[in-house]
Homo-oligomer: A and B are copies of this chain.
Amino acid sequence: MATRTKAKLGTTYHQHRERQRRRILDAARELFDERGIDRTTMAEVMAASGLRASTLYEYFSKKDDIVWAIFTDMLEESSARTKIAVGGATTGLAKIMALLEFMADQLSNDLAKIRFMAQFDAMYARDWPVERLLTLEGQFSDSGFEAFRELVIEGIADGSLRPDLDPDLTLHAVINAVVGTQRRLASLGTKVEQEYGHSIDRLLRETIRILEFGLRANAPTTSNGSTPGVKARGRAKGKRTS
């Protein structure tokens, strides 16, 4: 099937290459999550993707390249979805909360992805050249992290955020906290649920709720119990405007 067709159509050829690439990446992604990145062998990736060593190495010349490609893909996916998630929000706080809620949703829906990121942070981030990471993570919020400063200033201006927040630090601190929490919970998974008696989802949403209290201008000291689940966002927002 291969040779003759290949010769004929460049398009087909590229489609084929892309398909093969995906097979490898998908197989690796699953294995990395199941067995851990370091503990997954190239042989396992080969078996799972149905390709031979030499073919695989035509696509990725190092194991690290696969890791990197998956990382890149994930960032791109997240970046796109984040934009959509944040899109509708109007006030500064609403935008921030939309971002954080998006992260909570990821923990519910994309556990494997978060787990991969957690491994990546713990094991790879340190080894790889900073610029590479910076370049890439820059795409995460494509206006760059400088936009965060504006967002806080905007939030203070529109009265949704506490006036005593530091525009330079606040969002970095909050986002890092949520990402850190999200990844830890994803790594520990069941373990944390047995230990604490709560689902990791609920724990992360509670963390976000407390952060929100810490951010919003007029912290509503109502007799509100915990408000787990996705609804928390809606309710909290409702409170603020009233």
Contacts and interface: CB of A to CB of B under 8 A. Distances in A.
Contact of A162 (B178, B203, B204, B221): B221
A141 to B, nearest CB: 12
Interface of A: 1, 36, 38-39, 118-119, 121-123, 125-127, 130, 133-134, 137, 145, 159, 162-166, 168-170, 172-174, 176-185, 187-192, 194-198, 202-204, 206-207, 209-215, 217-235, 237-242
8 contacts: A38-B38, A162-B224, A166-B226, A168-B198, A172-B203, A173-B204, A176-B196, A181-B181
A182 B225 CA distance: 27
Contacts of A123: 36, 38, 119, 122-123
A17 to B, nearest CB: 15
A130 B194 contact: yes
A185 B45 CA distance: 31
A121 B121 contact: no
B169 A228 contact: yes
A220 to B, nearest CB: 4
A208 to B, nearest CB: 9
A157 to B, nearest CB: 12
Contacts of A191: 125-126, 130, 133
Contact of A180 (B165, B185, B190, B242): B185
A222 B211 contact: no
Contacts of A218: 221, 224, 226-230
Contacts of A241: 223, 225
Given A123-B122, A181-B177, A238 B211 contact: no
Contact of A202 (B39, B169, B174, B232): B169
A194 to B, nearest CB: 6
Contact of A234 (B1, B223, B238): B223
B145 A196 contact: yes
Given A134-B195, A232-B239, A242-B232, A207 B121 contact: no
A123 B165 CA distance: 36
